[in-house]
Amino acid sequence: MRWFFLFMLVGTTGVVNSLFLRELLLPDTGFLVPFNLVFSGLALIWYHAYFTQGSRQDKGKRQGMSVIVLVTGGCMIWQGVTFITSGLCEPGRRSHRILGMLMDFIQTHGYCALAGVLFMLMGLQMAYIAYKLFSKRPDNPIW
């Protein structure tokens, strides 16, 4: 099963990168950096799950998870900054009907900057959690 996961991980990363670099999906390739970092975190988890043991395995899987959480926090911070600077709550309208209705409500009432600040605070919380995951020692709990 381990090789199937590796094949899916490398295959998905390769296909998405090639599509974005050929500009079939989006002309903006700024999405590729966080996407590749998430898949690097997944590859780190995969490697340490199958090829290491003991405390090294735990540390490697924890570091892979912290990369994923850090990228999520960074994307939330970036989205918050975008909401604040543009004054528009554009992302999310196309992805989900209820989320789109919520974003329409926030934008019509002029709360996009507030939503941006909330996104930034949630992103900072995620980045703090990633930092604590990355720096956790076996004798020291996360919190």
Domain assignment present for residue 143? The answer is no
Contacts of the segment 85-88: beta carbons below 8 A, 24+ positions apart: 86/112, 87/112, 87/113, 88/112
pLDDT digits (tens, 9 = 90+) for 70-94: 999 999 998 899 888 887 777 655 5
Query: Residue range 108-125: average pLDDT?
Result: 90
Is 93 part of any domain? yes
In which domain, by residue range, is 42 found? 2-134
pLDDT over 60 at 142, yes or no = no
Quick one: pLDDT at residue 127? 92
Report yes or no on 6 lying in a domain: yes
Residue 121 lies in a domain: yes
pLDDT in tens, 28-81: 657 788 889 999 999 999 999 999 998 888 888 888 999 999 999 999 998 899
Does residue 15 sit within a domain?
A: yes
Q: What is the rounded CA–CA span in Å between residue 75 and residue 120?
A: 9
In a domain, 139, yes or no: no
Please give the tally of structural domains in the chain. Answer: 1
